[in-house]
A and B are shown apart, each in its own frame.
Chain A
Amino acid sequence: MPADRLAEVSDLFVVAAVLLYLFSMVGFALELAFGRARSDGAARRGRVPVAVGGAAGGAEAADGARPDAEEGVEPPSWAPKAGVAALVLGWLGWAANLAAIVTRGLAVDRWPWGNMYEFVVAICFAAVTAFLVMQVRQNVRFLGPFVMVAATLGLGFAVKVLYTAAGPVVPALNSYWVAIHVTAAILASGLFILAGVAGILYLVRGDGLSRLPSRADLERVAHRAIVLSFPVWTFAVIAGALWADKAWGRYWGWDPKEVWAFITWVAYAAYLHARVTAGWRGRAATIVQLIAFGCLLFNLIGVNIFISGLHSYADVN
């Protein structure tokens, strides 16, 4: 297939992924709103025989929020099915997203993250991947609606605002370091998004009864994601420094992107410290995490649009 046809196919796949994510989000939301899926899920999965106090607490909370879902009153039978359908749609969307990235890469004959559009598409893919993989290991379907919202909005933003026609990149980006540095940044960002979504839910969830899972559960999901992504982000920053050393003649020059990558790193380090500091656990640590997440988003998007620097390859008009 010629390159321009492939590029068109890639664009179609992105649209398909947006739609599938959207439907998946609706499914997850229906399950969360009408079902008791989580308590069922926790019991059925049962891979954690001991010390799952958190999950049990969450189940109680979910029951209490809806009077007709009290003990003995079955939720509508379609509710768990909506969740399963949402999961299937989510995987289909994931496949479409992957296909979009692969066809784009084939069309331009390089790693398909050379500009902001491609970068954001890849980050959405990473975030959905992180969610789906975590879902395989433990039931985190409650995160589904929110991760899918983020992915839908991200892809939509990429298509509407950041879209760049398939084409070559400037010589500075023609390096194998793209594969290393940018891939690590994408992976870490995807996981940070997952943690950010859990963090926002943590703050939204009140102290009382709620359909949302317990705060301990949300905290655990966020922490697990950050524990994985923080070393990856560290690596991404260092790989970036190595690349900068090759391309610009210094490994660290306080370019705006570097400054914000550093700020993001320090902020997430602050979160990890806050989590083990007396008086900072829980809510305060989550706020720190969300500040760090804000820095990350600003670095991904704001720096390229508002501040000019060496990383201004965004191709954003």
Chain B
Amino acid sequence: MAVKEMEKERAPQPAGFGVLGWVRWFWRTLTSMKTALILLFLFALASVPGSLVPQRGVEPDKVARLFQDNPTLAEWYDRFQLFDVFTSVWFAAIYLLLFTSLIGCVLPRTATYLRELRRRPPAAPRNLSRLPHHAALTADLTVEEAARRLRARRFRVDTGDGWVAAEKGYLRETGNLLFHVSLLGLLVAVGIGSLFGYRGNVLVVEGDGFANTVANYDRFIPGREVSAESLEPFSFELKDFKATYQVQGDKRGQELDYSAYLRVNDTPTAPARDYELKVNEPLEIDGTQTYLIGHGYAPVFRVTDGQGQVAFEGPVPCLVEHKPTLTSGCVVKAPDARPSQLGFLLRFLPTSVPLTDGTYASAFPGELQPEVQVLAAFTGDFGVRSGRPQSVYELAPPDLMKKLKPLVMGTAVPRPLAVGKSLDLPDGAGRLEFTGVKEWVTLQIAYDPGRMPALIFAGIATVSIALSLMIRRRRVWVRIGGGGSGTVEVGGLTRTEGSAAGFAEEFDDIVQVLTAGDRDAR
């Protein structure tokens, strides 16, 4: 017997760890609390660069600028996916490990918990006076009566020969498990959203419209499972835009409120309806949300070329250069102009005022005295027909810019044009007319099927974490002295560390109720 036993005992020692042993070791290490703790730290630490390095998904222009200013650094950043921290491989590795660890921790605990739910409270220990909470009293109490009084306090009760065992606070563990499960649910919801959802931006000028197709977006970021046909077929027209600004005081010029007035067709055949789109009040059409993100000015110009033909006419969205006064920079290109193309760099001043040094500036973001300052006018090839992608906010690519012939430039900047006024270019090269002012809005259109599930799981998480942290698990035992002597011993125990003080009060109440009956205790 001895030899066989010895061999068996030796078997699980390190020398014979085996593949299964290693797997088991790995699993046990991964699901241990210490590993979870370290992964939590890593999770937090890994998020930090996401707030320090510009992120592609949040500020793509800043990323581009970094590539321009410091290409070496940017390349290294890119190599470590620091521009996409939250979609990077290493970030995913951390949270996948963390969630695996979580599953490995929650599953066995759920099993234990389910078993415990069906079990009765454990029998009274022999010596109740050894428990952290203890009281002895004399009362005329039977086992049944004690059990009834404890049950009335919502305890789960079991009785035996001369004793009552009671337990309460099962919701603590329920909350804890539910919390961790809902975190898993939240992760899945976020994943669904990024696979099946999309996001896009578009700039719309007053009087123009938008139909929800991929081609109409200025920037479109689809999830992997999004097809062009799956976009909700709505359309709208921007009828009007109105903004109000603070007129007086320190905060003069600050935006108070703004609205975009839309005429919406939910489907191509549906009747049109009016909608006032505001910040914090998106337009929802069958799960697709349209948000008002920003606004600016789009002055309307007419460019007449050297041959007297209208070469360009329409609103030109200008980039905001100075937010408090909405001073904006505009680029007007007339590639159809003959004999040669024309282009203008302009500054739009919503409320133009002359300064003492002879220059002009905008004093207010509202459109009180809108004027356009012609900073420069060029003629030559702007490269519009070259087939290369071009920015509408840039006159020409840098290499072509050098070859352009300036018509108006530098110190001889003419007086700003008011609405209806025009500027004749020298040598009969053409004419620029400032005919009116429109406004533009930038919209974000987003579809995220994970939104509602994420909200539900987040709600469950909040409620369950509160349950888990605030409820304590406690046990109370009552032992009734034999032979009707009237001595009753009560012992109490809380299974949650650090909550002894709070339980003391409840324990006192319980002793009261057991002594005097539940009605007198009130």
Chain A positions within 8 Å of B258 at CB level: 171
Interface flags for A7-23 (1: CB within 8 Å of B; 0: not) read 00000000000000000
Interface size of A by CB at 8 A reads 63
User: Once the chains bind, are B291 and A170 in contact (CB under 8 Å)?
Assistant: no
Chain A positions within 8 Å of B289 at CB level: 249
Q: Does A301 contact B (CB under 8 A)?
A: no
Chain A positions within 8 Å of B58 at CB level: 253-255, 309
User: Once the chains bind, are B256 and A253 in contact (CB under 8 Å)?
Assistant: no
Q: Given that A50-B504, A250-B199 are known contacts, is A171 also in contact with B448, CB under 8 Å in the complex?
A: no
- With CB as the reference atom, state the residue of chain A lying closest to B503: A51
Q: Does B498 contact A (CB under 8 A)?
A: yes
CB proximity of A254 to chain B, nearest CB, Å: 5
CB proximity of B96 to chain A, nearest CB, Å: 15
User: Once the chains bind, are B254 and A254 in contact (CB under 8 Å)?
Assistant: no
- With CB as the reference atom, state the residue of chain A lying closest to B290: A249
Complex Cα gap A91–B417 (Å): 63
Quick one: which of B31-85 are within 8 Å of A by CB? 33-34, 36-37, 40-41, 43-44, 47-48, 50-52, 55, 57-58, 85
Chain A positions within 8 Å of B455 at CB level: 242, 251
User: Once the chains bind, are A254 and B57 in contact (CB under 8 Å)?
Assistant: yes
Tell which of B9-17, B277-285, B300-308, B314-322 binds the partner.
Answer: B277-285
Q: Does A259 contact B (CB under 8 A)?
A: yes
Quick one: which of B432-448 are within 8 Å of A by CB? 444-446, 448
User: Once the chains bind, are B501 and A249 in contact (CB under 8 Å)?
Assistant: no
* One of B52, B55, B57, B291 near A248 (C-beta < 8 A): B291
Chain B positions within 8 Å of A273 at CB level: 33, 36-37, 40
Tell which of A61-69, A193-201, A227-235 binds the partner.
Answer: A227-235
- With CB as the reference atom, state the residue of chain A lying closest to B500: A51
User: Once the chains bind, are A250 and B448 in contact (CB under 8 Å)?
Assistant: yes
Interface size of B by CB at 8 A reads 62
User: Once the chains bind, are B52 and A307 in contact (CB under 8 Å)?
Assistant: yes
Interface flags for A203-244 (1: CB within 8 Å of B; 0: not) read 000000000000000011001100110110011001001110
Chain A positions within 8 Å of B134 at CB level: 50
Q: Does B166 contact A (CB under 8 A)?
A: no
Quick one: which of B258-297 are within 8 Å of A by CB? 258, 278-282, 289, 291, 293
User: Once the chains bind, are B279 and A172 in contact (CB under 8 Å)?
Assistant: yes
Chain B positions within 8 Å of A266 at CB level: 40, 43-44, 47
Q: Does A75 contact B (CB under 8 A)?
A: no
- With CB as the reference atom, state the residue of chain A lying closest to B278: A171
Quick one: which of A260-296 are within 8 Å of B by CB? 260, 262-263, 266-267, 269-270, 272-280, 295
Complex Cα gap A224–B498 (Å): 8
Complex Cα gap A289–B452 (Å): 33
Complex Cα gap A175–B279 (Å): 9
User: Once the chains bind, are A168 and B254 in contact (CB under 8 Å)?
Assistant: yes
Complex Cα gap A199–B408 (Å): 68
User: Once the chains bind, are B459 and A238 in contact (CB under 8 Å)?
Assistant: yes
User: Once the chains bind, are B255 and A249 in contact (CB under 8 Å)?
Assistant: no
Chain B positions within 8 Å of A167 at CB level: 246, 249-251, 254
User: Once the chains bind, are A277 and B33 in contact (CB under 8 Å)?
Assistant: yes
CB proximity of A165 to chain B, nearest CB, Å: 5
Q: Does B470 contact A (CB under 8 A)?
A: yes
Q: Does B143 contact A (CB under 8 A)?
A: no
Complex Cα gap A287–B40 (Å): 15
* One of A165, A220, A246, A252 near B280 (C-beta < 8 A): A246
User: Once the chains bind, are B44 and A170 in contact (CB under 8 Å)?
Assistant: no
CB proximity of A85 to chain B, nearest CB, Å: 27
- With CB as the reference atom, state the residue of chain B lying closest to A226: B469
User: Once the chains bind, are B508 and A49 in contact (CB under 8 Å)?
Assistant: yes
Chain B positions within 8 Å of A34 at CB level: none
Chain B positions within 8 Å of A219 at CB level: 498
CB proximity of A121 to chain B, nearest CB, Å: 18
User: Once the chains bind, are B279 and A259 in contact (CB under 8 Å)?
Assistant: no
User: Once the chains bind, are A165 and B249 in contact (CB under 8 Å)?
Assistant: yes
User: Once the chains bind, are A48 and B504 in contact (CB under 8 Å)?
Assistant: yes
User: Once the chains bind, are B501 and A48 in contact (CB under 8 Å)?
Assistant: yes
Quick one: which of B201-234 are within 8 Å of A by CB? none
Complex Cα gap A259–B278 (Å): 26
CB proximity of B94 to chain A, nearest CB, Å: 11
Q: Does B462 contact A (CB under 8 A)?
A: yes
User: Once the chains bind, are A47 and B43 in contact (CB under 8 Å)?
Assistant: no
- With CB as the reference atom, state the residue of chain B lying closest to A234: B462
User: Once the chains bind, are B291 and A267 in contact (CB under 8 Å)?
Assistant: no
User: Once the chains bind, are B40 and A270 in contact (CB under 8 Å)?
Assistant: yes
- With CB as the reference atom, state the residue of chain A lying closest to B502: A224
Q: Does A161 contact B (CB under 8 A)?
A: no
User: Once the chains bind, are B469 and A170 in contact (CB under 8 Å)?
Assistant: no
- With CB as the reference atom, state the residue of chain B lying closest to A250: B446
User: Once the chains bind, are A303 and B190 in contact (CB under 8 Å)?
Assistant: no
Chain A positions within 8 Å of B170 at CB level: none
Q: Does B5 contact A (CB under 8 A)?
A: no
Complex Cα gap A140–B451 (Å): 44
Q: Does B346 contact A (CB under 8 A)?
A: no
Chain A positions within 8 Å of B251 at CB level: 165, 167-168
Chain B positions within 8 Å of A254 at CB level: 50-51, 55, 57-58, 85-86
Chain B positions within 8 Å of A253 at CB level: 57-58
| 26 A-B pairs (CB sep. < 8 Å) | A48-B505, A49-B508, A51-B501, A138-B501, A165-B249, A165-B250, A170-B254, A171-B256, A171-B257, A175-B280, A219-B498, A228-B470, A241-B458, A248-B291, A249-B282, A254-B50, A254-B55, A254-B57, A256-B51, A263-B48, A267-B40, A270-B41, A270-B44, A278-B33, A279-B34, A309-B51
A-B complex: 5 closest residue pairs judged by Cβ atoms: A249-B291, A249-B444, A231-B466, A259-B51, A256-B51
Contacts A51-B133, A168-B254, A246-B281 known; 20 new A-B pairs at CB < 8 A = A165-B249, A165-B251, A167-B246, A227-B469, A238-B458, A238-B462, A246-B280, A248-B444, A249-B293, A251-B454, A254-B57, A254-B85, A256-B51, A263-B44, A266-B44, A270-B37, A274-B37, A278-B33, A279-B34, A280-B34
